[in-house]
Structure 1
Amino acid sequence: MQNESMPGKNKRVAVMDLGTNTFHLLIAEGPANNFTEIFHTQEGVKLGEGGINEGLIQPAAFERGIATMQRFRDHLLDHHVTELRAIGTSALRNAKNGQDFITAVNEKAGIQIELISGDQEAAYIYNGIDASGCLTDRNALIIDIGGGSVEFIIGNEDEILWKQSFEIGAARLMDMFHKVDPIPVISIKAMTSYLNGQLADLFAAALKYRPRILIGSSGAFESFAEVIELEAGRKFDLKKTRNYEFDTDDLLDLIERLAKSNHAQRAAIKGIIPVRVDMIVVASLLTIYIMQKIGVADVAMSTYSLKEGVLAQMLG
């Protein structure tokens, strides 16, 4: 199934977001600003496992990725998709054998992967967040914590003011700093020092544009919201949630608990999906680090991200 449009009355489109940890497939139809989700699945492929910082997709991860793409192809056929875009991001951008994976997927699943830059990734994430309706006239700092990269975008409902992708994703940070569980204080300090060195461009942009709210794009932020709501005894359905505003105290309490937890304790928490059980620690620490550095207490979450941004363009 190549990335091409076929004639038909109903345009049924699919987006694959092929991330470092998780592969997503979203099938939808209808108008860009109010599309109908036909089918959504995600698989914890962990493409970066064992080789993320060496720039290599390990054989087991390579095979998991191929098998997932073959299953995704079957879903496309089952749902009569007329147009597809399969987007490759950080792990495929940086892996020495990323092109080998792209070729193998084309040969074995008939899907052509489109490799995008970090800058394109940030632009699609902004489009997704914008489509969710959570942006206003005040400047926001959007953060999308992926496994391989983290995208930061400063913007409002009218425009992107600044954007940049950094190769400091949760899988990379975990590989570098979260080697002992619970994560030791000395490792947190080392990670903080590392981030200070990596994110100078972000801090300069924040000084210039002064964002007043932090908006987390899907991923770990979905888990934060779900855990907080379930623990408060409230019903929470991510499928029916586009946007969510955090109580800052609840969020900070949860981050502190996650930072002090071990694997078994995190695995027992309702609302954290298995692929996120370990990476949520560095994602939590990155979140509070950014809040403190930028001086932002208001935090929100959107369930929309890259795939909805691509979808909006396809349906637009």
Structure 2
Amino acid sequence: MPEQTTAPAKRIAVMDLGTNTFHLLIAEAGADGFHVIHHQTEPVKIGEGGINKGIIQQAAFTRGIKAMQGFKKHIDAHGATAVRAIATSALRNAANGNDFIAEVKAQAGIEIEIIDGEQEAAFIYEGIKASGVLTDKNALIVDIGGGSVEFIIGNKTQVLWKQSFEIGAARLMDKFHKTDPIPVISIKAMTAYLNLQLAPLFIAAMEHKPTLLIGSSGSFESFAEVIELEKGNPFDLKKTRSYEFDFDDLLGLIERLIKSTHAKRATIKGIIPVRVDMIVTASLLTIYVMQKLGLDDVWMSTYSLKEGVMAGMLR
């Protein structure tokens, strides 16, 4: 009898091209979803110097091309046969975003898809759902990017409401965090701005009454890592899908970060360099939403947009 051979598992590559960070996730289809083969993060900062001007500056443009060429090498080396590169707020709103997309195709052979805020929120929900953190209770999912912030109200069976707002941490930093530590007058100005911008969220929250907040990757990963490392506990984000915050721990850390200087933040283990400054406006936004909606049950999911895209491709 001839020996039976098993077909190799399908390998998929997903890239999430954010305002601060470009992510590459290569995974293999498995019985329980997917098994990560390679995960890479590049601090491209594509929005640096131009996020609120609607332009990708030359240095950021060059960094982005170099990162995509590097991703292409890993995709080929790992034999990924299905590839998607998803671009969000910074490329969506940049006047020269299409130039960047054309250059990536020419120099790295990767086709980039620009998605709108609604699609972005839908992918984030799918990623959070795949992490297993959702329950029957209504949750407010918050994904703080550099360019945009996605808010989704839903549970493990459905999305009840979702919206993307162009108020990401890099945009807020550019508008309000001009001196360090951030002065009280700037915090008040940012609060007034959020009151206006997030009016649709408050209306949706009154209707759907979320009882917990789930922070999607990004700054929430940093919050969790800093808290655990300061307690002397080992913490590996690659082995963590979700994390439940102690409310007092989270509140205490956020207050410290808001009052801190760049030099102080740079010494805190658990905060990656690309997040050292943006974590201040991300912290302010987090505490603002928690207090405004009275949410003290807070979780973090390491799964986000790229895992949502991956889950969809595997289906």
Instruction: Give the structure-2-normalised TM-score.
Output: 0.97
CA shift at 1:34, angstroms? 3.2
**Aligned: 1:173 with 2:175:** no
Q: In structure 1, what residue type is equivalent to 2:258?
A: A
CA shift at 1:33, angstroms? 4.4
2:148 corresponds to which residue? 149
2:212 corresponds to which residue? 213
What secondary structure sits across from 1:251 in the alignment? helix
- Asked if the contact 2:150–2:163 (Cα under 8 Å) also holds between the matched residues in 1, the reply is yes
1:242 corresponds to which residue? 241
CA-to-aligned-CA distance 1:52-104 (integer Å, 9 cap, x gap): 00100000000000010000011111111111000010001000000110011
Structure 1 unmatched ranges of 5 or more: 1-7
1:132 corresponds to which residue? 131
1:186 corresponds to which residue? 185
- Asked if the contact 1:19–1:90 (Cα under 8 Å) also holds between the matched residues in 2, the reply is yes
1:254 corresponds to which residue? 253
Q: In structure 1, what residue type is equivalent to 2:148?
A: S
2:312 corresponds to which residue? 313
What secondary structure sits across from 2:295 in the alignment? coil
Structure 2 unmatched ranges of 5 or more: 1-6
**Aligned: 1:63 with 2:35:** no
1:204 corresponds to which residue? 203
Q: Compared with structure 1, are the counterparts of its residues 32 and 124 closer, same or farther at alpha carbon in structure 2 (3 Å cutoff)?
A: farther
- Asked if the contact 1:32–1:312 (Cα under 8 Å) also holds between the matched residues in 2, the reply is no
Q: In structure 2, what residue type is equivalent to 1:125?
A: I
1:123 corresponds to which residue? 122
Report the count of equivalent residues: 309
What secondary structure sits across from 1:143 in the alignment? strand
What secondary structure sits across from 1:304 in the alignment? coil
- Asked if the contact 1:87–1:113 (Cα under 8 Å) also holds between the matched residues in 2, the reply is yes
Take 1:243 and 1:167, find their aligned partners in 2: how far apart are those partners? Answer: 26
CA shift at 1:239, angstroms? 0.7
What does 1:42-57 align with in structure 2 at a 5 Å threshold? 42-57=41-56
Take 1:223 and 1:126, find their aligned partners in 2: how far apart are those partners? Answer: 20
Take 1:99 and 1:212, find their aligned partners in 2: how far apart are those partners? Answer: 41
What secondary structure sits across from 1:30 in the alignment? strand
CA shift at 1:277, angstroms? 0.4
**Aligned: 1:160 with 2:168:** no
What does 1:29-48 align with in structure 2 at a 5 Å threshold? 29-31=28-30, 33-48=32-47
What secondary structure sits across from 1:175 in the alignment? helix
1:302 corresponds to which residue? 301
CA shift at 1:9, angstroms? 3.6
- Asked if the contact 2:87–2:114 (Cα under 8 Å) also holds between the matched residues in 1, the reply is yes
Take 1:161 and 1:33, find their aligned partners in 2: how far apart are those partners? Answer: 26
> Percent of aligned pairs with the same residue?
72
Take 2:308 and 2:41, find their aligned partners in 1: how far apart are those partners? Answer: 17
What secondary structure sits across from 2:150 in the alignment? strand
- Asked if the contact 1:27–1:81 (Cα under 8 Å) also holds between the matched residues in 2, the reply is yes
CA-to-aligned-CA distance 1:178-216 (integer Å, 9 cap, x gap): 010000000000000000010000000000000000000
CA shift at 1:32, angstroms? 7.6
Q: In structure 2, what residue type is equivalent to 1:24?
A: H
Q: In structure 2, what residue type is equivalent to 1:172?
A: R
| Aligned residues: CA RMSD | 0.8
1:87 corresponds to which residue? 86
Take 1:158 and 1:102, find their aligned partners in 2: how far apart are those partners? Answer: 35
Q: In structure 2, what residue type is equivalent to 1:56?
A: I
CA shift at 1:30, angstroms? 1.7
Take 1:218 and 1:271, find their aligned partners in 2: how far apart are those partners? Answer: 13
Take 1:253 and 1:193, find their aligned partners in 2: how far apart are those partners? Answer: 23
Q: In structure 2, what residue type is equivalent to 1:69?
A: M
Take 1:91 and 1:282, find their aligned partners in 2: how far apart are those partners? Answer: 17
Instruction: Give the structure-1-normalised TM-score.
Output: 0.97
1:23 corresponds to which residue? 22
Find runs of 4+ consecutive structure 1 residues off by over 6 angstroms.
Answer: none
- Asked if the contact 2:33–2:311 (Cα under 8 Å) also holds between the matched residues in 1, the reply is no
CA shift at 1:315, angstroms? 1.1
Take 2:176 and 2:259, find their aligned partners in 1: how far apart are those partners? Answer: 14
Take 2:283 and 2:161, find their aligned partners in 1: how far apart are those partners? Answer: 24
CA-to-aligned-CA distance 1:123-171 (integer Å, 9 cap, x gap): 0000000000000000000000000000000000010000000000000
